[in-house]
Structure 1
Amino acid sequence: MKRDSRKESRKADGGASAADSAVQEPTAHAAFASYAAPLVSDAIGFANAVREDPSPEALHKLRVSLRRLRSLWWAFAPLLEKGENTRQRALYKYLATAAGKTRDWDILIELLGQEDSGARNLAPKLEQARGDALATSRETLSNADVKHLLRDALTSASTEINTTHERVPLSKFAGKRVAASERSLLKRAKRARRAKTSNYAAFHGVRKAGKKLRYLLEFFQPVLSGSHKRTLKRLKQVQKRFGKLNDIVASEMLLRDNASLFAGSGDTDAVLHWLHKERKRRMRSAAGLLRKL
């Protein structure tokens, strides 16, 4: 990743060649809507699908689309009024959390489907809790009027960006934002390497920063210099391994927070013990990957 960062810095700081000057490069301002509009359309489509499709996949797609929107708004933050950008990113987080409440139960159910989890008698109660969460998720998303909220956010951001006078070449802008995201990841990785293996917050910070950098590279790859395939591959490894750790931590917390739903079930203690062992194992696995960042 450090090699990629140097390439981006050279591109961001260097002047354009004679050949490049002959071609009018698009500006970041002009390109914003071309990135944002498809993401908004996808998120609206996934939100509509959740009303009809109760499957874990539908909720997962909605949550991912909203996370990508948050990352895009972060990328274009220098061109947006700070307060409005913060409010819009908070909106995407709120909607993703609404979808995530059901998704968390899906993850817990999937984890406890493993034979050694000790969850022999919890399945009916887990499914009931998942059904209740789905009803709440659907109600929240319906009341939020996702379609109009996201379209208004897109219109507001597009208008603001295109009324600013300064124009920045897209490649230069993208290079700087990717470099900033990469610095954030490396800083968080350094902090996590120094932290105790029980410090999940430090590991979670790496996961979030890695996800943001991955999304930015996927957005801007066509206008960035050099190849980023190696970096993307490494980021996918981080996301997969740290995501498995997050699944365990979130599931353990969900089970503890809803202990009253499973009162009288002797399996609960066994399941919590299994989740605790899994968390320690996955923390060690994540720590091993940190050394390669």
Structure 2
Amino acid sequence: MARGLLHLPAPQGARLLARDLIDTVRAAAGQLEATPGADALHDLRVAIRRLRTLLRSYQPWLGPAASPKVRRGLRRIASATGTTRDIDVQLAWIEQHASTFAAREQAGLTWLKRRLERRRSATLASLRRKEAKRLRRLTDFIGEEVREFCLPADPADRAHQPAATLAAVTGDLLGTLLHQFEPELDAIRSIDDRNRSHAARITGKRIRYLIEPLGQELSAGSDAVSQLKQLQDMLGEFNDANQFENLVARAQDQVAVRQERRFSKAVLNGKVLDEAWVGRMRERDPCPGLAALHERLDARQHECYARIEQWLHDEAFALRRRLHDMVVALCRTQIPDREIERKYLLRSLPDLVVGSAAQLIEQGYLPGSRVRERLRRIRMTGTERYYRTIKVGDGIDRAEFEEETTREMFASMWPMTEGKRVRKRRYRVVFGELIWEIDEFLDHPLIMAEVEIPHPSIDPEPPEWLRPYVVRQVSGEPEFLNVNLAR
């Protein structure tokens, strides 16, 4: 992927990504048609999942190429490949561990293996016969829809391009997924949380497929992708063991019923149940092998969960930090005139900023019921700058329209703010990807910290130098808005 993709307008960047994924899906489908093995099937499944993630994520910028009908068709194909893939995993597990089972348990493994092989043949034949045609139609349609947008942008048409870059859109998408992903990780607390671990696996996979094509342009992108893949593999093994155990449990029930019917039929037909007959039945009995397999799979789940638990303890925080930093970096190119911030009430001025350089800020608010314009003068190291600002909205996410003005304009409008003014010192501390601002109010016994963030889902932990001074977070509380503190 060419560098600079993130700075393209979102429709053009999304279509370039779609074009590359379409080529990957077509190549994987051709490989499966030529050599229908487990590796070829895996490559096709991964390619389809990545394409589905892209279409779902960038749907507003892809138009008909990401229509509900197209996505439903891809979901059906993905489901068809999923059945075959699960069987391949189960057959591979039996093949790998068969030699470790006792002689009397082999009959159960053989019985189950034959049954899985028959099912695989049927599903693979259906996949190659029906779904391959569907996939060709879909990829041809998507390819045609995205083709024209893969041309370089016409400079003469630049005025009509959307303001949002691919980076800004991706940052917003990543922030939303991260907001979902973190509580899903926190919810995995025991081996019984299988549904929760499955949900975390799916969301983690979507995050990985969202950022993976952009890894070369994202700081720490390759490290985050590597961690996500490691987590995905562990959660996948855990899920596979659980699914296989459930399948074996159903097979045990079916075999038990079949054995009971066979025994009853023999008795009713007057068959002599001699020792030789019983011996033959025992040799062919799948039950011991299925019971042993069920036990092994249960043990496998415990092994998988132990690794997951250790990973969550050792790696989860680092992954979250990388993803949060990625959201910050991506959303730096967010559409301007948007202020998203979190505020914290402090008990005193942090030692780190005591005695350091500060801005002296005087700001006042012009009369108004629906629209309140703010005037601001900032003094620091012998310089003065003046600004006019209007903010719209409530909570932590507001539109902000600001422009610098002249001393003369400020002086002419400042008297109208009489009785609605605030004075404060502001200290600024750069920490990681964020800038923390400490406001020491000069007309109130009040000290506050605020940090501007690129996405509402981000709730940064105050840094160590600030943490002892935090009373609580007051984001969105009206009494701590500057306009309400002004007097």
Shorter-chain TM-score category?
Answer: 0.7 to 0.9
CA contact (8 A) 1:43 1:66 kept: yes
Instruction: Please state if 1:242 is matched with 2:226.
Output: no
Deviations 1:133-170 (A, max 9, x none): 3223223323x43111222234457789x9x9734212
Instruction: Please state if 1:220 is matched with 2:214.
Output: yes
Q: Of 230, 233, 242, which residue of structure 1 is paired with 2:223?
A: 230
Instruction: Please state if 1:290 is matched with 2:312.
Output: yes
Residue aligning to 1:48: 30
Q: Of 190, 193, 200, which residue of structure 2 is paired with 1:199?
A: 193
Residue aligning to 2:326: none
TM-score (norm 2): 0.49
More strand by share: 2
- Identity %, equivalent residues: 22
Which of the pair has the greater relative contact order for Cα pairs under 8 Å at 6+ separation?
Answer: 1
CA contact (8 A) 2:73 2:134 kept: no
Instruction: Assess, with a 3 A threshold, how the Cα gap between structure 1 residues 50 and 233 changes in structure 2: closer, same or farther.
Output: closer
Instruction: Please state if 1:153 is matched with 2:142.
Output: yes
Instruction: Please state if 1:112 is matched with 2:94.
Output: yes
Give SS of 1:47's match.
helix
Residue aligning to 1:280: 302
CA contact (8 A) 2:90 2:244 kept: yes
Query: Where do 1:27-106 residues align within 5 Å?
Result: 27-79=9-61, 85-106=67-88
CA contact (8 A) 2:216 2:222 kept: no
Distance 1:78 1:289 in 2: 36
Distance 2:15 2:242 in 1: 37
Instruction: Please state if 1:265 is matched with 2:291.
Output: no
Residue aligning to 1:189: 185
Instruction: Assess, with a 3 A threshold, how the Cα gap between structure 1 residues 159 and 211 changes in structure 2: closer, same or farther.
Output: same
Runs of 5+ unmatched residues, structure 2: 154-159, 259-284, 317-487
Distance 1:188 1:158 in 2: 37
Distance 1:136 1:276 in 2: 32
Q: CA deviation at 1:78?
A: 4.2
Task: Please tell me the residue identity of whatever aligns with 2:123.
Answer: A
Task: Please tell me the residue identity of whatever aligns with 2:129.
Answer: E
Deviations 1:16-72 (A, max 9, x none): xxxx9xxx9421111122111121122123223323312100111110000001111
Q: CA deviation at 1:95?
A: 0.8
Instruction: Assess, with a 3 A threshold, how the Cα gap between structure 1 residues 27 and 200 changes in structure 2: closer, same or farther.
Output: same
Distance 2:56 2:10 in 1: 13
Distance 1:158 1:257 in 2: 48
Instruction: Assess, with a 3 A threshold, how the Cα gap between structure 1 residues 236 and 169 changes in structure 2: closer, same or farther.
Output: same
Of residues 204-213 and 252-261 in structure 1, the stretch that sits farther from structure 2 once superposed is 252-261
Residue aligning to 2:129: 139
Deviations 1:232-279 (A, max 9, x none): 232122012112112212222344456658965232222122212212
Of residues 203-212 and 46-55 in structure 1, the stretch that sits farther from structure 2 once superposed is 46-55
Distance 2:249 2:56 in 1: 33
Distance 1:204 1:117 in 2: 30
Bigger Cα Rg: 2
Instruction: Assess, with a 3 A threshold, how the Cα gap between structure 1 residues 284 and 25 changes in structure 2: closer, same or farther.
Output: closer
Q: CA deviation at 1:290?
A: 2.5
CA contact (8 A) 2:241 2:297 kept: yes
Distance 2:94 2:147 in 1: 45
Task: Please tell me the residue identity of whatever aligns with 1:230.
Answer: D
Give SS of 1:290's match.
helix
Distance 1:75 1:261 in 2: 45
Give SS of 1:112's match.
helix
CA contact (8 A) 1:107 1:251 kept: no
Residue aligning to 1:128: 118
Distance 2:225 2:162 in 1: 31
Q: What RMSD over aligned residues (CA atoms) do the two structures have, in Å?
A: 3.2
Deviations 1:156-213 (A, max 9, x none): 57789x9x973421222222222322222212112224xx421211001111111111
Distance 2:192 2:236 in 1: 16
More helix by share: 1
Residue aligning to 1:5: none
